[in-house]
Amino acid sequence: MNNTHRPIVRCCRRPINILLATLALFMASSWDGAQAQTNPLNFAGDFRLRHERTTRQETGARPDIRDPRNREVVRFRFGMNKKINGLFNFGARLATGSPDDPNTTDITLGDFVNDLTISLDRVYMELAYKNLFFTGGKFANPFRTTELVWDGDVNPQGFGASYTFSGSKKIIPKLTGVYYVVDEQTSNPDSYMLGGQMQFVMNPSSDLSLTLAGAYYDYSIKSLTNANSGDFQSNFLTPDGKAYLSDFDLLDAIATIDYRGFGERYPVRLVGDFVKNHGAVLEENEGFSVDLYIGKVSKKNDWRLQYGYALAENDAVLAAFSHDNTTLATNYEQHTLGLDYVVVENTTLNVTLYHYRRHDIKSPNSFENDFFSRLRMNALVNF
């Protein structure tokens, strides 16, 4: 969901208490010397500070004038995991952001210095046995994705599994499946998604890799009772506004080319994504994106340049879980230009420009047919 209009609210202490109690339990169980040494409790986190400027976003004094918006944004994430008996792995993560918005962990500073919201955005148990992997709870998205279909902050809840097939090192197949609980209700039908993806990683040479992934996501959205405006945004609704006009049966194809022939510091990656919603009622059901990356961001003085172009029609994807980088989750065309630079170890500076507009405008004289621009300047620290 788009986080543009999310205000700061009071801090939620219950998730913190839950995580602290969990940490205490696992730390207590780790005092047994040999067990603690072989299966330590691992911690990781990051903090990001952002200045963002969006042109003509807020409505001005006249209908055809929009004033710029400047805002300061922070993000904080802190997680832990612990392996159990060499077979299971338990993990949990706290993150800023509204608990009602799965697409973002960002918090806008302001609102008379109210405290920041923090919640439990991941809690999961994993099982890894040979080539089989299984996870349950609220976990990181196991599919190979781009932000055309899945925002990077969305963590599915339900169950997921994958199996990596043994075979040639030059071709590695992998099958992934997920049962995603979208909305469970006591007195109304549940909403859920069944999804599967087949992936092939091919390594024809030491300098070249090719990854092909095909996925099918079958949503069954029975009710919008617990949804809000951010969950459907520009998806078409029925005349009474109580249901999606379309079903969402997404066929998603992704191709990634990695080339390392220009040296260790200058890898090149090209990613293409095409999605079509076979459950759409109208013909506005397709989207695609192409992204080019040059360089990497792992060591001091590393840099990476990105350029991307994307187009998505109104019902090409489910807006509730697609990207929130701009004010448009569907029905847009967008150019993205980004630059990352590693100042010192674990500290990265980033500048990203989004240049975008609505793809389909019902009124040809609407000012919304013009391009908008959003500039983000980020400082990120990992620990």
Distance from C-alpha of 22 to C-alpha of 91, rounded to nearest angstrom? 10
Listed range (35-49, 121-135, 180-194, 197-211) with the worst mean pLDDT: 35-49
Residue 22 reports pLDDT greater than 70: no
Distance of CA 316 to the CA centre of its chain: 17
Q: What are phi and psi of 329, to 5 degrees?
A: -95, -30
pLDDT at position 290, please? 98
What token pair was written down for 292?
């080019």
In three-state secondary structure terms, 197 is strand
Which two three-digit tokens encode residue 214? 């095909």
- Residue 145 three-state SS: coil
Angstrom distance (rounded) from CA 231 to CA 235:
9
Find the range with the poorest average confidence among 31-40, 150-159, 207-216: 31-40
Give DSSP secondary structure letters for 158-170: EEEEEEEPP--TT
Judge whether residue 23 has pLDDT over 90: no
- Give the start-to-end residue ranges of the domains of the chain: 14-382
Q: Report angle CA 313, 315, 318 to the nearest 5 degrees.
A: 115
Please say whether the beta carbons of 42 and 23 come within 8 A.
no
Answer whether residue 362 shows pLDDT above 70: no
Query: What does the mean pLDDT of the chain come to?
Result: 87
Residues 6+ apart with CB under 8 A from 306: 291, 292, 293, 294, 336, 337, 338, 339, 340, 352
Q: Give the pLDDT confidence score for residue 64 in this predicted structure.
A: 54
Query: Which pLDDT score, from 0 to 100, does residue 366 have?
Result: 54
Q: Indicate the DSSP class of residue 6.
A: P
Torsion sign (Cα): 329, 332, 224, 230: positive
Nearest to 312 by CA among 333, 292, 335: 333
Angle subtended at Cα 295 by Cα 291 and Cα 297, rounded to the nearest 5 degrees = 105
pLDDT score of 327: 87
- What residue has token string 């510091």? 265
Q: Which residue has the tokens 């330590």?
A: 40
Q: Using the structure block, give the residue that is written with the tokens 């995603």.
A: 180
- The model's pTM is 0.87
**Given a cut of 50, is residue 1 above it in pLDDT?**
no
Q: What is the pLDDT of residue 361?
A: 74
pLDDT greater than 50 at residue 348: yes
CATH class of 14-382: mainly beta
Residues linked to residue 171 through DSSP beta bridges, in sequence order: 202
